[in-house]
Amino acid sequence: MKRALFIAAVLWPLAAGTAWPIDQIYTSTSDRPYFGEIVSMSAITINFKSHSKDAPGEIPVNEIKRITLENSPQGLLEAQKDILDGDYEKATEALKKENTEDKRPEVAQEIIFCRAFCMAQLALAGEGDVNVLEAGTQMSNFVKEYPNNYHYYKACEVVGDLCVVAGKFEFAQTFYGKLSQAPWPDYKIRAQVALGRAFLAQGDATAADKAFDEALNNDSLGELAETQRIAAHIGKARCMVLHNKTDLALNSLGEIMDKLDDKNPEICAMAYNALGTALRKANKPKEAILAFLHVHLMYDTQPDAHAEAVANLEKLFTETHNPGHARDMQSILQERYRNSRWAKSAK
DSSP labels for 154-216?
HHHHHHHHHHHHHT-HHHHHHHHHHHHTSSSHHHHHHHHHHHHHHHHHHT-HHHHHHHHHHHH
CA distances for 144 relative to 74, 82, 164, 221, angstroms:
27, 26, 19, 32
Query: pLDDT: is 337 or 208 the higher one?
Result: 208
The reported pLDDT for the residue numbered 304 is 85
The reported pLDDT for the residue numbered 76 is 95
- As a whole number, mean pLDDT of residues 92-104 equals 90
Residue 273: pLDDT band (50, 70, 90) is: very high
The reported pLDDT for the residue numbered 127 is 67
Among 15-24, 218-227, 238-247, 260-269, which is the least confidently predicted range? 15-24
Alpha helices in the chain (DSSP H): 2-15, 74-84, 88-96, 105-125, 132-145, 152-166, 169-180, 185-202, 205-216, 223-242, 246-258, 265-281, 285-298, 303-319, 323-336, 341-346
The reported pLDDT for the residue numbered 22 is 87
The reported pLDDT for the residue numbered 1 is 43
CATH of domain 71-182: 1.25.40
- Residues 287-298 pLDDT 10s: 999 999 999 999
- Residues 17-64 pLDDT 10s: 344 458 999 988 888 888 889 999 999 999 988 866 666 788 999 999
Q: Residue 56 burial (CB < 10 Å; 0-12/13-18/19+)?
A: middle
Q: Where in the chain is the domain with CATH 1.25.40?
A: 71-182, 186-259, 276-347
Q: Does the domain at residues 1-69 carry the CATH identifier 2.60.40?
A: no
Q: Which CATH architecture has domain 186-259?
A: Alpha Horseshoe (1.25)
Return the number of other C-beta atoms located less than 10 Å from residue 30's C-beta. Answer: 15
Topology of the domain covering 276-347: 1.25.40
- For the beta sheet containing 64-68, the strands, ordered from the edge strand earlier in sequence to the opposite edge, are 58-60, 45-50, 34-41, 23-27, 64-68
- In whole angstroms, give the CA distance from residue 300 to residue 293: 10
Residue 14: pLDDT band (50, 70, 90) is: very low
- In whole angstroms, give the CA distance from residue 52 to residue 36: 8
Q: Where in the chain is the domain with CATH 2.30.30?
A: 1-69
Grouping H, G, I as helix, E, B as strand and the rest as coil, residue 331 is helix
In the chain, what percentage of residues exceed pLDDT 70?
91
Indicate the average pLDDT of the chain: 88
- Residues 123-139 pLDDT 10s: 888 766 778 889 999 99
- In whole angstroms, give the CA distance from residue 27 to residue 211: 30
b/e string for 303-336 if b means 16 or more Cβ within 10 A?
A: bbbbbbbbbbbbbbbbeeeeeebbeebbebbeeb
- Sequence-distant (6+) residues with CB within 8 A of 268 are 260, 261, 262, 298, 299
